[in-house]
Chain A
Amino acid sequence: MMISDNNFEQKNRHLKQNSMHPTPINKQLAVKTDGFINLVDALEYAAKGESGFNFYDHRGELESVLSYRDLRDDARVLARRLLGLGCKPGDRVGIIAETDPMFHRFFFACQYAGLIPLALPAGIQLGAHKAYVGQIRRMLESCGAAIAVAPASHMAFLEEVTDELDLLMSGTPEDFDSLPEKENELVSPSAEDIAYLQYTSGSTRFPRGVEINHETVLNNIREIALHGLNLNSEDRFVSWLPYYHDMGLIGFILVPLIAQLSVDYLPSRTFAMRPRLWLKLISDNRGTISSSPTFGYALCARRLRPSDYERYDLTSWRTACVGAEQINPVPLKAFAEALKPCGFDAKAFVACYGMAECVLAISFAPLDLGLSVDYVDQDVMTSTGKAVPVEQSAANVAAYADCGLLLPGFEISIRDDHGYPVEDRQCGEIFLKGPSVMSGYFQDEEATLAILDSDGWLDTGDIGYLVEDRLFITARSKDVIIIKGRNIWPHDMEVVAQRVQGVRLGGVAAFSVTGFGDEELAILVVETRERDLDQRDRLAHEITELMHEHFGINVVIDLAKPGTLPRTSSGKLSRFQSREAFLERQKNPALHLPGTVEADRKIA
């Protein structure tokens, strides 16, 4: 009755070897995070210890174990097999990133073979077959991949893609295992070689791969380990984050590996279905570090049952980072309150700020202090961008989490619309510089030049302010919509919506607003000449379904008559003004257009 898993045997090999015990904390090997020139060096050192990766199944039971030692051995063999295929140094290898040891094996085989891995999304939405296949195809095409690998569960999707692409080879891990090994000696990568590509938005028509070399990734990881998390040999990581996001790939594969610490994984899908297994795993294995975007904590809190409080012991959980999207203190507080009886300490929360363009992390709030929130006057903030402190109980208060000090390597400049630096407590665009910043987007000079200037300043697109070197983020990116950890480009939503018959070309604007419970809510204003109510209904339904299929989110559809959307003098649609106008319409019922789907209910 259960869907068979063809990886089962391979996974079991390690189980039998290790007789069902997760890898321990290293007793002998000292934590070392510096002196590595590349990721291979780091793995070779970690392989001297007993620690490694542990994979738990959909019931939260240990399914397989991959020690750093086994990973090193497997990756060396696999590297020779990949080279035997005739790969050239720097060729790209797409890996469908299920929570499975095959990902780690292929990722590190690439490091040994001088190839460049990229993690491909593994999460598929209900009814989203076509969208998923399209996404994988665009990413493989965009980087000109030579090789693609998928677990058996995803092979049918990959085959649909690779039939049309000219790859050296695509297949399951088992297919690669039967290849002959090339006798060549493996050459260690140099510090400047690209270590991996990280795609920032797989759903974009033009996906962009963040290019990170060994020196850059090791620099950021070292700073995270020392200054962000202050890791020690007793630490143990627990994670359900997908490997195709920077927080999963860097934060919970590479950071623990570079510090020789053990990690326990729960599949992302299992977390989505049974979030309490996350707590169980932390409790059972005495996890000390586990992170999530705000929504993960909120989801987990919503599904707690009173009987849980006796079941879990969360006293070991010392650091619970919160990042990847705008930090919302309200659900975090609820999570901490609910789990207080299990020994969860709200002081474990650490607000972080980061992005794939800087490997992962940019700033960390201080450890062991919990969230620190700055309460400022909302009206002043909206009209002048100035963060004027007020009492928490004031009317019209906005709350922003203190994201802490920058990691030591970063320089920051917060600038106004004209590019001039602003003073403390004044919002502006965040620019960053330093050794953790990417070299650029892979083979995309135009996109690179748009974000990275000749002096090495990265335009993050995010908005924030400083208070005595502490960073506060007020808006994640002027453009990107971030919902439940997904980064969605408004442009992508607009392009997809225009496929629906009856939607005016160029007459769509996507943006986000803050809805009830301070959740981000995506809005799509769609211009249409359609007056027939049934037809309008059909239009809204079709768009809703497409948004789900492509982006996996709810979207509020606002059908508007042609000419509603504001344009700049050059005729370009202004998303910012569209958003302002939308909020104005919501306030003024006289302007309220018929056909606004559920906007009344959801807009706060």
Chain B
Amino acid sequence: MEHRRPFKLMALSLIFMGVATLAWASAIAAQTANTETKPAVTAPAASQADGDYVGMETCITCHEDQHKRFKNTVMGKIMEHPRTDLEKRGCEACHGPGKAHVEAGGGKETIPVRFGKDSKNSVAEQNAACLDCHSKGNRLFWKGSQHDSRAIACVDCHQVKQELHPALSSEGRYSSPLTENRGLKKSQPELCLQCHQMRKAQLQRSSHMPYREGKVTCTSCHNPHGSPNPKQLLQSTTNENCLSCHTERRGPFLWEHPPVMENCANCHDPHGTSNPQLLKVRMPRVCDSCHVATRHPTQAQPLGSIKNFNRGCTNCHSAIHGSNHPSGDKFLR
């Protein structure tokens, strides 16, 4: 591994990205001349001529109830004071132009874009309607992400016009940190656990982070909308993710334990275990599985051994995450 080459790569990459972005911006500006461009997967809504739009007032004449609910949502509030041409379209910004629907006197089949399981639109078409506005922020890496590539629709998790009414048992069983996001179909972690059902079991383990207590939740570490990082993590690596809270273990230390610095998940399972300290295997075996040196690391250790009970190996090697003590080469200090 060369120490300097990556930073040359980084500089070249940044220059490339900058030039590409500028070039692309210029091209877009020239092409669109203040008009909205089409998304990569074009929703029917955007493929229609402007004359096909009937305006929100027309929609409200029949759909007053939906409008009442919608106008109290964040999207509804923003569309009261639209900033873009798309936002000015109100209902038709998401559902597409309503002319055909109006002329037919209503009917679900004449709505260009509908959402949910009974929609005729593909998942890509439905998502494209959302991404018309929501392609920035933490959705930047949505395209090609884990959930996108497995045909997950935005509306599988989100809802716009409904209030969240969890079952009473859900209130009792799940707890999540305070959030402003009121557009989810269920609160976290219950929402994620619908598909990731194995995690539901893991969160019940005796050794766990405070998920059940509503202090940490799935999106504390993961971005379900896609990230360029492994496991859709918010940070670049597993360790950067863990060390964003457990900063004391970040180092650099004088004496480092390489598997610790490389991946916390070598020894710990963050989703919960039955062993102390979220360990995948309890001590001393978690250490024994790597350390086949001489003397005590290779003794099988009877039950009544100081290297077994209580804190196991860390009864003595307590600085196992790294030591900055000049005498800490064996992680005793």
Q: Is B one of A's binding partners?
A: no
Chain A interface residues toward B at CB < 8 A: none
